[in-house]
Amino acid sequence: MIKSYKKLFENNKNWVKEINSQNPNFFEKLAQGQSPQFLWIGCSDSRVPANELTGTAQGDIFVHRNIANMVIHTDMSMLSVLDYSINVLGVKHIMVVGHYGCGGVNAAMGNKQVGLIDNWLCNIKDVYRLYEAELDAIEDQVKRSNRLVELNVQEQVFNLTKTSIVQNAWANGRSLLVHGIIYDIHDGLLKDLNITVGDTSQIDPVYKFDVDLNTQQ
């Protein structure tokens, strides 16, 4: 584990050297712009870095991270990332990536006050309440936490599909898939939850917006 602040800059120089030795035009090309195909909505946890664990390079994934990979409809930061990535960058896939052993999810399962974050974690408690019978029936604490991590990802996928941003993209004939994924910090593997959504057919009617003609192209 790196503890020295200066070491980060040393590492950065070595990293640039390494890339330049393999591809001298890499940074020049990258500076011309980005057109990533993927939006990653993941947890802020330091053990879940989008590019490293997918073996992708800079420019490949547009990233938004917050505690417990939440999609909260009043979160201007998340909404701005979502709108920009779909309507300007033209991403084709949105991935909500949760991870087992998530500190945010574990804290939400407990009753201790942590601080301001309690208000953020309340959104995970709402997910717990939706699946209370299933979750309460799981005696093992770790297994119950893992299941809540999965259900939380599923609900955040649904939360994305409830936004007018995603619904308008579909109404405009855009190919956009929203995926739910789990990262296992114990073995480093990604698991697709197979709950991919690509249209409004699974959305509860109360969340379906009329198509906004102003946004049709």
The one among 91, 102, 169, 178 contacting Zn ion by CB under 5 A: 102
Angle at 211 between CA 205 and CA 214, to 5 degrees: 155
x/- mask, Zn ion, residues 65-84, rule CB under 5 A, reads --------------------
Asked if residues 127 and 152 have their Cβ atoms less than 8 Å apart, the reply is: yes
Judge whether 102 counts as a catalytic residue: yes
Least Å distance, CB 176 to Zn ion, is: 25
Asked if residues 158 and 179 have their Cβ atoms less than 8 Å apart, the reply is: no
- Region near Zn ion per CB under 5 A, out of 17-25, 74-82, 104-112, 198-206: 104-112
- Region near Zn ion per CB under 5 A, out of 37-45, 80-88, 107-115, 147-155: 37-45
Least Å distance, CB 178 to Zn ion, is: 20
Asked if residues 168 and 199 have their Cβ atoms less than 8 Å apart, the reply is: no
Task: List residues bridging with 177 in a β-sheet.
Answer: 93
Please tell me whether residue 148 binds Zn ion under the rule CB under 5 A.
Answer: no
Least Å distance, CB 103 to Zn ion, is: 6
Judge whether 43 counts as a catalytic residue: yes
Residue recorded with tokens 């109404």: 171
Judge whether 122 counts as a catalytic residue: no
Amino acid identity for residue 23 in this structure: N
- Burial class of 140 by CB neighbour count within 10 A (0 to 12, 13 to 18, 19+): exposed
Please tell me whether residue 43 binds Zn ion under the rule CB under 5 A.
Answer: yes
DSSP 131: T
Report the catalytic residues.
43, 45, 47, 99, 102
